[in-house]
Every structure is written in structure tokens, then in C-alpha cells.
Amino acid sequence: MITFLFDFDGTLADSLSTIVEITNRLAPEFGYRPTPLEELDALKGFSARQLIRYSGIPLLKIPALLRRLRVELKACDPPIAPCAGMPAIIRQLHAQNHMLAVITSNAPEVVHAFLIAHGLDHCFFSVDGGGTLFGKGKLITKCLVRHQLVPAATVYVGDEVRDIQAARFAGIRPISVTWGFNSREALAAAQPDWLVDDPDALAAIARTLSCGI
């Protein structure tokens, strides 16, 4: 049995366009450069720190911006759609008795609303979130300790370079998915243990890891 810890935005939830729309709307209030839609693909090669420098947002305003973003995402109607193919693979992994949890920079309330809206809430034993932009590593570590998870049998699935870094900080192996916020090239350069282009690959990874335990 493998424990899959999932990032939320860009991994489970297809929220990129919604987040760009919200952050562009808030740009004048918080004093940073909005993201032109025509530049979006190029920016997928940027790390989170590079995006902060690109936008010019004052570092002291980032916590307040994240709070506003979480509030706006919670109020989304209709709810954010899941990434293509993810509901099916989540249900498959759960049916195979793998343990699933969410660890995200977003608010747990946003995640719970999403999971309920798409009939996935019963698949996850835990949702942790609301930390700082670069605090996922500590959230993963706390989850490992709280639920007495075995690091060798636990992976973190994310779509950004910072997810790879967070997994390694916590001593578990990262799986990077290519349908989210960072480009395939940027993820490959950070050398995750697995780089997957299709959700079905997660089931294959689960089989491989289960055989090795």
C-alpha cells in the first residue's frame, strides 16, 4: 500500500486560468504587474521565485495576496474543474486501498469544497493547507509525523519545481505531472523521481512501488 500526497492547484484542480484571472484583477490593488495571457506558456518555465521577481510584487504583500486569492477561489461558482483524467485515477487508487491526502498552499476549505463538488471527498484521509508559498516541505513533514507514514512508501505528486523541493525537504520521493503550472522542461531540469504526462501513469507507479515494499 502506497501513500500518495497530492498538491492541489494544477495537479488535482485545473485552476491555472482562474488564478491568473483573479491575480490580474488584484494587480492594481497590490501593486504588481499582471500576467498577459500571451506570455502564459513562456512563464510556465519560471520557478515561483522567478515569477515573483517577474511580477514585481513587494514581498511583504505576498501573504495578504495569498489570503485574498484563497477567499476568491473559495467563492468560485461554478466550482473549479478537475484536471482531465484525475477523478478516475483518484477513485482507482482509493479502490486499490492506497492512502490519499492533499497538501497544498491553498486553503483547506477550498480543497474540501472542490472534493465534495466532484464526489472525491471520501477518497482522502487528510487535507492540509494554508501555509506559506514555500512552506509545503514543513506541511509534508507534519503530515508524515501526524499519521505515522513511512517515507519509503510515500510520494508527493505536484506540478511545480517547488513541489519537488518540498518533497525532498521532507525526505520522500517527488512525482511531477506535466499538465499544471510549470513546463515539462522546467520540471525535468529539477530531476523528480518520476515525470508523468498522463494520470494513468500514477497507477503504474503505484504498482511498481507496491512490488518493492
Nearest to 209 by CA among 155, 143, 167: 155
Is 7 tagged catalytic?
yes
Q: Which of 7, 9, 128, 163 is catalytic?
A: 7
d(CA 117, CA 171): 33
Q: Which three cell numbers stand for residue 67?
A: 489570503
Predicted local distance difference test score (pLDDT) of residue 18? 92
Provide mean pLDDT across the span 24-33.
93
Q: Which three cell numbers stand for residue 155?
A: 510520494
Say if residue 175's pLDDT is above 80: yes
d(CA 174, CA 151): 11
* Strand duo 173-177 + 154-158: pairing: parallel
pTM of the model: 0.92
Using 50, 70 and 90 to split pLDDT, how confident is the model at 184?
Answer: very high
Pairwise pLDDT comparison (4 vs 66), residue with the higher score: 4
Predicted local distance difference test score (pLDDT) of residue 213? 59
Domains with residue ranges and CATH for the chain: 3-14+81-212 (3.40.50.1000), 16-74 (no CATH)
**List of residues 6+ apart from 85 with CB closer than 8 A:** 198, 199, 200
Say if residue 85's pLDDT is above 90: yes
Say if residue 180's pLDDT is above 70: yes
